[in-house]
Amino acid sequence: MSTSSIWHQIQRQNFTRLDALATFLELSSEQRSLLLEDRSDFPMNLPLRLAQKIIKQTLDDPILRQFVPQIHEREFPADFTADPVGDLSSRRCPKLLHKYHGRALLLATSACAMHCRYCFRQNFPYESSSSDFSEELHAIKSDTTIQEIILSGGDPLSLSNNSLQSLLTSLAGIPHLRRLRFHTRFPIGIPERIDDELIRLLSTHPQQIIFVLHINHPREIDPDVLHALNRIQRLGIPVLCQSVLLKGVNDDEETMLSLCEKLINAGILPYYLHLLDRVNGSAHFEVSKERGCQLISYLQNHLSGYGAPKLAQEIAGEPGKTIIYLHSLDSLQT
């Protein structure tokens, strides 16, 4: 069996039905009544590997909270919207977003290995009529200010190796591109995706590659995940991590310190700790800026300088991420 067949087969084991997951997690009838069955617009999608890490008979587990729809998603405060980061206004082509100078984001696919319940792109109207990138590639070629392409989605590792090779070959032929950045969560749920063929593709690509992972809780990391990521690191590819600050998931000192220590011990640099993007249905995850500053201060006092992420917020229309500096804590308290 080919390596691609292996990870595709594993992906088919994902939990996509709430009743099956509730039975697996031994949830009571009362707990089941707090789950949200009718999110057909953004259904549950949870890899078996992550489901096996969830503590059973509770809804308070930090991994469960990230991936299992609950009735809180029906709450729509006025300041939560369908497009909180302004993706639609920055859409240059159906699959190309251009917000910041020098870099653009290519929506390689709408598919993900898992559906995070706070995903800011859960309402995005992905282009589904064509899998071709010709319009996007033409736009990138025509703009010599673009030096970096961010492969996102969805998750770019949802593409098959053949599709990914075709896209990478096209990007390699654009002379003003210098860097290629993968934004992915795939290895956390299905580390088998980092297969021999993908490693070969990455090792022969001429442009600088950077991997940015999305990990929110230390229990998402295990030896298989680290082994897969180490295969990428051995190619000389920098591996960074960005997290989202989420209530009931990682908004305490012990959890964040453990996460950062696990990352830096594996040679993965914490990059950003994002404040929540205010997408509809995610209000129950929000943590205040003040609390975020307190956590960053704690991390800076307990870790080497490279071990603490920057607290960041994406504000629609701004020319880059807004960094929330610790001195702003005083103004937040007054």
**Cα atoms in the 13 Å half-sphere on the side-chain side of 313:** 16
Average pLDDT of span 197-216 = 98
Q: What DSSP element (H or E) covers 212?
A: strand 208-214
Domains of the chain: 3-74 (no CATH), 88-333 (3.20.20.70)
Q: Tell me the helix, strand and coil percentages in the chain, rounded to 5.
A: 40, 15, 45
Across the chain, what does the average pLDDT equal? 95
β-pair type (239-244, 208-214): parallel
Amino acid at 85: V
Which SS3 state, helix, strand or coil, does residue 58 take?
coil
Average pLDDT of span 71-84 = 95
328 vs 274, higher pLDDT:
274
pTM metric for this prediction: 0.94
Convert the pLDDT of each residue in 86-137 to its tens digit: 999 999 999 999 999 999 999 999 999 999 999 999 999 999 877 899 999 9
Convert the pLDDT of each residue in 277-327 to its tens digit: 999 999 999 999 999 999 999 999 999 999 999 999 999 989 899 999 866
- Indicate the burial class of 180 (C-beta count within 10 angstroms; 0-12, 13-18, 19 or more): buried
Convert the pLDDT of each residue in 262-281 to its tens digit: 999 999 999 999 999 999 99
What is the rounded CA–CA span in Å between residue 227 and residue 230? 5
Average pLDDT of span 11-22 = 96
